DNA sequence: TAAGATTGAGTACTCAATCTTG
DNA sequence: CAAGATTGAGTACTCAATCTTA
């Protein structure tokens, strides 16, 4: 006798849910560090990190390198500007865009936060162990490869404009 | 000569960032499915999944099994109630809490969405390959174990009240 | 006082205009 | 009309009261 077609589903075994919960836990713990120190939002931290590691770039480039929507970038940049952590300079060739660059205060904050970030990552690595980190990186590589080929296939195109 | 203590930091190699980006990609793709079909939010989907797999439970239990804050649970439950997908019944012994249960319409939607979820997971699995899924699950197990022991250590306690 | 659950205030998000320049 | 960037409207989130019952 066949049982009727009952669909077995357990949210706590569902991979998308598990990945999300793990990611949330990891980034909440890290966010506490920069929120409590600087009262920064996550988009601001990401924009700062992009500017700190890349130097003088445009808002669009921040979006590309931080995976954020352009409205998030726009507001994060405004936030950093209000703190005097970055300056804008007009591009003479194309005045639609501005080059963004960290001030010396911004750079100092970046260096400090980069250290915090690296030590947080080090704690995570020691938590997972060498083998665990290796597993995680392999999995991330596979997902990132899938994401790249799917966005190339116009699947998520509209989400990123 | 030692170079001065430059902190090298690349956001795109930063594990917390990579995990988050991967998780967002996976859940955005899935969310499109239930958003376009039912115009549901993620908290609503999670509450539906918890109710569908566990049966008659309280709001607190939904929170435990779906990893959501109680205010999210409260609003998600209200949303499902407005759709007539669940009913509340008073507990005579302790009238602070109500038992929540899916209606027949709610159960039908749950079964349909569970199928969608499983087929999405299957696509993800085939994308990653057997080895990739294995790597991912090992990594998730390690992170979940770390999260459990750390929340037990009252680190994140305040976030969950 | 505490526990289960809801509500309100403020903030951040998403999506669709909008503005400016090319 | 397209591209870089910003703004506004509506929605969802977080956090701190609040309400009710134990």
- Number of helices and strands in chain A (H, E): 5, 2
What pLDDT, on the 0 to 100 scale, is given for residue A160? 33
For residue A43, give the H/E element and its range: helix A42-54
> Is the pLDDT assigned to residue B83 strictly greater than 80?
yes
Q: How far apart are CA A70 and CA B115, in angstroms?
A: 35
* Segment B76-87 mean pLDDT: 96
Are A45 and A68 within 8 A, CB to CB?
Answer: no
Residue predicted with more confidence, A92 or B21: B21
Stated in angstroms, how far is B22 CA from D13 C1'? 21
pLDDT in tens, A38-69: 899 999 999 999 999 999 999 999 999 999 99
- β-partners of residue B102 are B86
Q: How far apart are CA B61 and CA A3, in angstroms?
A: 29
> Is the pLDDT assigned to residue B114 strictly greater than 90?
yes
> Is the pLDDT assigned to residue B37 strictly greater than 70?
yes
Place of tokens 């704690």: A123
* Paired tokens of A91: 């591009």
The residue in chain A having the minimum alpha-carbon distance to the alpha carbon of residue B52 is: A9
pLDDT in tens, chain A (161 residues): 444 456 789 999 999 999 999 999 999 999 988 998 889 999 999 999 999 999 999 999 999 999 999 999 999 999 999 999 999 998 878 888 999 999 999 999 999 999 999 999 999 999 888 988 998 999 999 899 888 887 644 333 333 33
Are B74 and B90 within 8 A, CB to CB?
Answer: no
Over chain B, what is the mean pLDDT? 87
Q: Measuring from the CA of residue B44 to each C1', which nucleotide is nearest? A: D12
Q: How far apart are CA A152 and CA A157, in angstroms?
A: 8
B30/A16 touch (CB, cutoff 8 Å), yes or no = yes
Q: Which of A4, A6, A9, A27 to mutate to test the interface with B (most CBs of B within 10 A)?
A: A9
Q: How far apart are CA B49 and CA B44, in angstroms?
A: 9
* Segment B61-77 mean pLDDT: 95
Are B31 and B51 within 8 A, CB to CB?
Answer: no
Residue B6 pLDDT level (bands cut at 50, 70, 90): low
Are A69 and A160 within 8 A, CB to CB?
Answer: yes
The residue in chain A having the minimum alpha-carbon distance to the alpha carbon of residue B131 is: A139
CA distances from B116 to A44, A118, B30, B37, B145 (A): 36, 39, 9, 11, 29
Place of tokens 């499983």: B118
> Is the pLDDT assigned to residue B43 strictly greater than 90?
yes
| A71 CB and strand D closer than 7 A | yes
Q: Which residues of A56-73 are buried (b: 16+ CB within 10 A; e: fewer)?
A: ebbbebbbebbbbeeebb
**Is the CB of A31 inside 8 Å of chain B's CB atoms?**
no
Are B114 and B52 within 8 A, CB to CB?
Answer: yes
Query: Chain A window 98-157: which residues touch B at a Cβ cutoff of 8 Å?
Result: 111, 114-115, 117-118, 120-121, 124-125, 127-129, 131-133, 135-136, 138-140, 142-144, 146-147, 150, 155-156
pLDDT in tens, A123-135: 999 988 898 899 8
**Is the CB of A25 inside 8 Å of chain B's CB atoms?**
yes
> Mean pLDDT lowest for which of B84-88, B128-132, B137-141?
B128-132
Closest in A7, A49, A65 to B114, CB measured = A7
From the CA of A95, how many Å to the nearest CA of chain B?
28
Q: Could you count the other beta carbons within 10 Å of the beta carbon of residue A138?
A: 18
Stated in angstroms, how far is B130 CA from C20 C1'? 51
Q: What is the C-alpha radius of gyration for chain B, rounded to an integer number of angstroms?
A: 20
Q: Which of B136, B137, B154, B156 to mutate to test the interface with A (most CBs of A within 10 A)?
A: B136
Q: How far apart are CA A28 and CA B42, in angstroms?
A: 18
* Paired tokens of A60: 């669009």
Q: How far apart are CA A106 and CA B114, in angstroms?
A: 48
Q: Measuring from the CA of residue A76 to each C1', which nucleotide is nearest? A: C12
Closest in A11, A27, A65 to B46, CB measured = A11
pTM of the predicted model, to two decimals?
0.88
Residue A114 region by backbone torsions, left for phi larger than 0, else alpha for psi between -120 and 50, else beta: alpha
Q: Which positions 95-114 on chain A have a beta carbon less than 7 angstroms from any atom of strand D?
A: 96-98
């Amino acid at each position: 006798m066949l049982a009727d077609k009952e669909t077995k589903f357990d949210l706590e075994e569902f991979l998308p849910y598990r990945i999300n919960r793990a990611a949330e836990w990891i980034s909440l713990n890290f966010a506490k560090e920069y929120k409590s120190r600087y009262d920064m939002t996550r988009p601001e931290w990401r924009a700062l990190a992009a500017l700190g590691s890349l130097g003088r770039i445009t808002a669009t480039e921040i979006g590309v390198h931080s995976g954020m929507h352009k409205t998030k970038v726009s507001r994060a940049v405004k936030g950093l500007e209000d703190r005097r952590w970055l300056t804008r300079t007009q591009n003479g060739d194309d005045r639609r865009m501005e080059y963004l660059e960290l001030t010396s205060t911004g750079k100092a904050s970046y260096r400090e936060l980069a250290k915090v970030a690296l030590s947080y990552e080090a704690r995570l690595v020691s938590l997972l162990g060498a083998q665990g980190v290796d597993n995680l990186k392999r999995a991330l590589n596979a997902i990132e490869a899938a994401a790249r080929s799917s966005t190339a296939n116009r699947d998520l195109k509209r989400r990123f404009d």
